[in-house]
C-alpha cells in the first residue's frame, strides 16, 4: 500500500445537465426538493440521478439543479411501482387471540 495522497479527478459535466446559456429551458422547471417530494426520495438523490444521467437536469446559476416537471412525470410512468404485499393470513388460533385482545382493550376503554 502506498502512502501517496489520493488524486481527486475534476467533476465532468454529463450530457444530462444542460445550462440555460446553452439552450432555452422549459417553462415547467422545478427544484430538486420538489422533484424529490414527487418521486418520494430526497433532494440529494435527485441531484445524484441528474449527474448519473437518470433524470435530465438544468442548471441556471451553475450551482443549483432544476428538472422539468414533464421529465419527472415521465420517470414516474417508467418506474414500476411495487405493489404492497398481501397481508399474512393468520391461523384461526392467532385470529381468536387477536380478537380477544381487541375486545379486552375495547372493554378497558369502555367502548364495548
Average the pLDDT over 105-109 and give the result: 82
Using the predicted structure, report yes or no on whether residue 30 has a pLDDT greater than 90.
Answer: yes
Residue 95 counted as domain residue:
no
Residue 58 counted as domain residue:
yes
In this structure, what C-alpha cell is assigned to residue 25?
A: 429551458
Residue 63 counted as domain residue:
yes
Comparing C-alpha atoms, which of 23, 33, 27, 25 is closest to residue 64? 33
Task: State residue 34's pLDDT score.
Answer: 94
Task: State residue 2's pLDDT score.
Answer: 47
Task: State residue 90's pLDDT score.
Answer: 72
Using the predicted structure, report yes or no on whether residue 109 has a pLDDT greater than 60.
Answer: yes
Count the neighbouring beta carbons within 10 Å of the beta carbon of residue 42.
13
Strand 17-19 to 57-59 pairing: parallel
Residue 66 counted as domain residue:
yes
Model confidence pLDDT, tens digit, residues 31-85: 999 999 998 889 899 999 888 888 888 887 667 889 999 999 888 887 655 666 6
Task: State residue 91's pLDDT score.
Answer: 82
Residue 91 counted as domain residue:
no
Q: Give the number of domains in the chain.
A: 1
Residue 107 counted as domain residue:
no
Residue 3 counted as domain residue:
no
Using the predicted structure, report yes or no on whether residue 7 has a pLDDT greater than 50.
Answer: no
Model confidence pLDDT, tens digit, residues 74-106: 888 876 556 666 666 678 888 888 888 888 888
37 close to 76: Cβ distance less than 8 angstroms: no
d(CA 68, CA 54) in angstroms, rounded, equals 13
Residue 101 counted as domain residue:
no
Boundaries of domain holding 73 = 14-80
Amino acid at each position: 500500500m502506498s502512502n501517496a495522497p489520493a488524486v481527486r479527478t475534476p467533476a465532468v459535466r454529463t450530457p444530462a445537465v444542460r445550462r440555460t446559456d446553452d439552450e432555452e429551458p422549459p417553462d415547467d422547471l422545478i427544484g430538486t426538493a420538489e422533484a424529490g417530494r414527487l418521486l418520494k426520495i430526497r433532494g440529494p438523490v435527485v441531484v445524484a440521478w441528474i449527474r448519473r444521467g437518470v433524470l435530465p437536469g438544468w442548471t441556471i446559476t451553475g450551482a443549483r439543479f432544476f428538472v422539468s416537471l414533464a421529465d419527472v412525470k415521465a420517470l414516474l410512468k417508467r418506474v414500476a411501482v411495487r405493489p404492497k404485499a398481501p397481508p399474512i393470513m393468520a391461523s384461526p388460533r392467532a385470529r381468536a387471540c387477536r380478537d380477544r385482545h381487541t375486545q379486552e382493550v375495547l372493554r378497558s376503554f369502555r367502548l364495548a
